[in-house]
Amino acid sequence: MKTIMKKCITVSMLFMATVLFAQEETKEKKLSISGSVDAYYRANLTAPNDENAIAPGSSFANLSGFSLGMANVIASYEGEKVGFVADLVFGPRGTDAIFASPMYSATGNIINQLYAYWNVSESVTLTMGNFNTFLGYEVISPTGNFNYSTSYLFSYGPFSHTGLKADFDLGNDFSLMLGVMNDTDLTEFNPTGDYAFGAQLGYSGQYLNVLLDPSFFEIDFTGGFDISDSFYLGINAAHLSLEDDAGGFTGVALYPQLATSDTFTIGLRGEYFVEDKDFGAIGTGVEDSSVFALTLTGSLAVDDLTIKPEFRLDNASDDAFIDNDLAATKSLGSFVLAAIYSF
């Protein structure tokens, strides 16, 4: 009798362990961890690389010598109906991306995105929290961009929003997003009592975006086309106007990319960016300045590591940079070599 009881207890314990292990395995399948780590080397070709070093007025990849990008760690849970994303960033690029979280910088806020979502139906999803902007061709994470340095259009559009948005699948490749959010880049809470409203109409990978913020209005087109199996052309165009006719910008960027093999792609970003009044993005201190920037980037994939050499030339309508003799000049040539690991 004792032997039978022992066997029953042993079988029961094995059964419970199997059930718990299966439940844990199921949970592990739903909860995923991903992210990236990046570092780079940057040098000016036509300007000093010492304490007088300068960089283009766009965001990220602006530090001299061997420099750090960011560590990006994303925890996400995807259920049948609900899920969440917790996107954390560490390092200089991460700090720039979240503007040092101005409301809670003293506590070391490292949140890039933090939101929960509910798939109300097959065609409607509600999302609430902090999410990266729906405007523009480029994104904060270097894994989502072909070029390592960023454009003026990306750098002076919004980075993130906190609010509630609804995504609708309208069928026949059409989509619609409507959202209500805090003032742009006020990501922790709303200290103003004002709200921004956003909308996105999409069709087959082409998106028309509108953002009405209390302090500005922006309209943006983002899209791209596969010209052939190996050649892709991306497009971004935007116009931003500050309230009270205080200025703004208009710009367009083209992103032709050619895959020469399974592991190497070469791409060019050509961008023309014009300020209305002295918006301050280019750094000339002169009203109605413009800049034409060419960025040639190679992308070599080695398993989960991507190596990107990049040459960039910024040419402004007015003096925005300095040369090796510290004299004011309209142009700046620079080189970047980046290493990006994705997991």
| Cβ atoms 59, 147 nearer than 8 A | no
pTM listed for this prediction:
0.88
- As a whole number of angstroms, the distance between CA 251 and CA 275 comes to 9
29 has pLDDT over 70: no
Least confident of 183-187, 191-195, 292-296: 183-187
| Cβ atoms 221, 201 nearer than 8 A | no
C-alpha to C-alpha distances, 80 to 84, 121, 141, 177, 233, nearest whole angstrom: 12, 10, 27, 21, 35
162 has pLDDT over 80: yes
For the CA atoms of the chain, what is the radius of gyration?
Answer: 24
Which structure tokens are listed for 144? 């989502």
175 has pLDDT over 90: yes
**Taking the CB of residue 261, how many other CB atoms lie within 10 A of it?**
9
The domain ranges of the chain are 40-342
Which structure tokens are listed for 202? 């999409």
9 has pLDDT over 50: no
pLDDT in tens, 266-323: 999 999 999 999 899 999 999 999 999 999 999 999 999 999 999 999 999 999 999 9
Residue 153 burial (C-beta neighbours within 10 Å; 0-12, 13-18, 19+): buried
Q: What is the pLDDT of residue 11?
A: 37
Please name the residue that has the structure tokens 């040639």. 296
CATH of domain 40-342: 2.40.160.10
